[in-house]
Amino acid sequence: MARAIQSFFHRKGRIGYLFVLPWLIGFAVFTAYPVFYSLYLSFFQVRITSQGIDTVYAGLANYQRALVSDVTFVRQLGSYFLQTAVSVPLIVIFALMIALLLNRPIRFRGWFRTIFFLPVIISSGPVLAKLIEQKVTSIPAIEQNLFYRLAEDYRGLLVTDLFLFIMDNMIVLFWFSGVQILIFIAALQKSDKLIYEAARIDGASGWEMFWKVTLPGMAPMIVINIVYTTVMYSISSLNPIIEQIKTQMFKAETGFGYASALSWVYFVAIAALLAALTGLTAYFRAKKK
């Protein structure tokens, strides 16, 4: 046995398995198994008894309930889709703008970076909730803006509601961009200066260079940032859905089975959004070429 183990690790690379082993165990026990187990539970009626968990097969009842009869969840899912689909591009574009500004020869660049990154440190769910509660998350004095008042008069429409959502939460949306700004800056500073030199000699304007050189060069970073933003936005406790999942989890009449179904619907929704957003970027890149 000992010899078998020795000969197994004799090939140089195989020692690597030993280093990666904790992750493999952890992945199996704390991620892979839970993922499948929650999928399994979502088809069951789960009850916690003194003997342990008691499961009764329920077929698609949990999903039916989530998507058909649970009015709150469907509504929350709908607004999650809209808000995320609007917020994520907004956050990424904003981050790119800031990064481009900071990539110019600017004094106090370090100070600005410090300010823009600060929210990453302090914006936990309860803190954001308190700030939203106190209405300090919209741009100061935005309520006096003509467009804002106009939109308020027509509250209830999809467009106006989205507009008001963005305006009311502008600072929170900005606050989600800290990491993305840094990723963009790091990439901009590593991009090849010679390309810009060549483009300049060919007579390209700044505007042209942005669209033809900077943006295509940033494309991989844009995809990374879209993924990062979508994930972070989806699991932030600003999202009413994750609170809903928690509530259902500890409710006697619905329990773990129903909560599992909700979390899986949510998982699929996030995956669909990720696919749509990254697919869209890929589409625009392909069209450019």
Partner 1 sequence: MNVKAYDRSKAKRFLLGGSDRQGLIGQTAAYVLLIGIGFVFLYPLLFMISTSFKSLDDLLDSAVNWIPSHFYLDNYRRALEVLDYFPVLMQTALVTLLPSIIQTFMAAVIGFGFARFRFRGRNILLLLVLFTFLIPPQVTVIPRYILFNELGILDTLAAYIYPAFFGQGINAAIFILIFYQTFRQMPDALEEAAQLDGAGHPTIFFRIAIPMAASAFIVSFLFSLVWYWNETYLASIYFGESLTTLPLQLQKFTATYQAMFASASSASGGTNINEGIELAGTLLTILPLLVIYFVAQRWFVESMDRSGIAGE
Positions 32 through 51 that interact with partner 1 (CB under 8 A): 33-35, 37-38, 41
- CB nearer to partner 1: pick between 96 and 183: 183
Residues 132-151 interacting with partner 1 (rule: CB under 8 A): 133-134, 136-137, 139-140
Q: Which range, of 70-78, 146-154, 176-184, 278-286, touches partner 1 by CB under 8 A?
A: 176-184
Residues 204-233 interacting with partner 1 (rule: CB under 8 A): 205-207, 209, 220-221, 224, 227, 231
Calpha distance 137→166 (Å, rounded):
10
Q: Which of 1, 4, 68, 121 binds partner 1 (CB under 8 A)?
A: 121
55 touches partner 1 (CB under 8 A): no
277 touches partner 1 (CB under 8 A): no
Q: How far is the CB of 162 from partner 1 (least distance, A)?
A: 20
* Residues 86 and 169 sit within 8 Å (Cβ to Cβ): no
> Cα dist. 240→74, 95, 172, 247, 272 in Å?
12, 25, 15, 11, 19
- For residue 266, how far is the Cα from the chain centroid? 13
Q: How far is the CB of 88 from partner 1 (least distance, A)?
A: 14
- Provide the H-helix boundaries in the chain: 2-8, 15-26, 33-41, 61-64, 71-102, 109-122, 125-133, 146-153, 158-168, 170-175, 178-190, 193-201, 206-209, 215-235, 240-249, 255-288
251 touches partner 1 (CB under 8 A): no
Beta strands 44-49 and 52-57: pairing type? antiparallel
How many residues touch partner 1 under the rule CB under 8 A: the total is 96
x-or-dash string of contact with partner 1, 1-20, rule CB under 8 A:
-----------xxxxxxxxx
Q: Which of 1, 3, 10, 22 binds partner 1 (CB under 8 A)?
A: 22
Calpha distance 284→289 (Å, rounded):
9
